[in-house]
Structure 1
Amino acid sequence: MARIIGGIGTSHVPTIGLAYDKGKQEDPAWKPLFDGYKPIADWLAKEKPDALIMIYNDHCSSFFFDFYPTFALGIGSEFSVADEGAGLRNLPPLPGNVELQAHIAESLVNDEFDLTIFQDKPLDHGCFSPLPLLWPHKPEWPGCVVPLAVNVLQFPLPTARRCYRLGQAIKRAIESYPEDLKVVVVGTGGLSHQVHGERVGFNNIEWDHEFLELLQNDPEKLTELTHKDFVERGGAESVEQIMWLTMRGALNDSIQQKHVNYYLATTTAMTAVLYENA
């Protein structure tokens, strides 16, 4: 049977991809961030997962506000990079495992999650910003992806509890898949940041670390928070933390934090954390 071996939480700030493409890995302003991903990349290289489930939000690259689904699962043999206005990044398409994706889709619907299914849609920086820091991509990516887009842009949003329960349903889906696969679940976005409005540039370091502690040891407490709670504590865009809760719900109750890197050098608390199932 397939099994989930761990989870990753990562920021998906678009400037990470820009800095990567411009070769700024040794730049003093960026080196602490890039170095913070190396232990996770080493772990992935050692464990060799067959698939990453990428939980992300689309930034109006493939969906727009006239049709913006709550949960959207991609099914396809490959997913290309979205052009977000600055030209295509020099990254190969991400391969997909259609049989695994279709199984997850059917399992989640049977678990009463009403999904939107998409095909032939490119993926934006929600997926592609952190991926080259985690996986090598030359000449090709080492495994496949299952893209799962969550609405954190247009209200009404799914609740924190609903996202956590979605992760639990993903766990059931993976563990019912008959092929012997190793899977890692990646929750993207967050942590505290606000990129517009009166509180532009807002961060809350204390809350970020409290969130990480609760995510590991008491995620149910986080499911009690409203969207207003997340926004007040971490800024408008920190509501993306509900995607980390989806990742956490897919893991065992008991997990080990193998690595964490927290770097606040811009308006966003850029974070990378690795969990292993205990």
Structure 2
Amino acid sequence: MSNRLVLTLAGTVLVGAAALLSAPASAQQNPVGQPSPRISVTGEGEVGVAPDMAILNLTVLREGETARAALSANSEAMKQVLAALKEAGVAERDLQTSGLSIQPRFAQPGKERNVEPKIIGYTVSNAVTVRVRKLGDAGAILDKAVSLGVNQGGGIVFLKDDLKPTLTEARKLAVADAVARAKTLAEAADIKLGKILSIEEQSIMPRPMPYGGPMRMAASDAAVPLASGENTYRTQVNVVFEIAP
């Protein structure tokens, strides 16, 4: 009985060893759960486009002996500015109050110490953001607004109203750039690219970049000459490729 048991166990060990020797080589090289070899690259796409819209930041600043007097003077001036903007063709939806501030003005401190600061008046500022969709009108609108009471601010940004076609083109260029980079790296490493495993776009919204090329006049006949230039929009994608066996 004991001899038969020993022989049976020995046979089992031999069968197990034979099974290990006959296991496929791929199973020994790529254990279960281990990711396949891969290569990751980042591609960039850049597209330059002329803007077709301007955003103006305009502020009316008024002073008065009291807060009410300063606010009333400011409100009257801002009403005239808004009316002129609408008359110039700016739609109601393109006008938005972006800030209102009421601040006291203090007398200059003298030589005396431990003296309470004295209020001698108030300053009221009212800021409005204006979207000018007819780029050629931006200079004339800015000139008109200043003549009617705008006396602070004046910031201007040129943008593209519909960015979808521009960003679509930038994404295509970014993916093409990633594929080209991956091919270069694979050739240098003497490996073959497999299928694309994932494509991920950067979540940051592309912003217009200054362009140093020739400038286009946005309002050549206006009292305030403006140059809109060209904006460059960039995007990035991360692409992961499988390495072919």
TM-score (norm 2): 0.29
Larger radius of gyration: 2
TM-score (norm 1): 0.26
More strand by share: 2
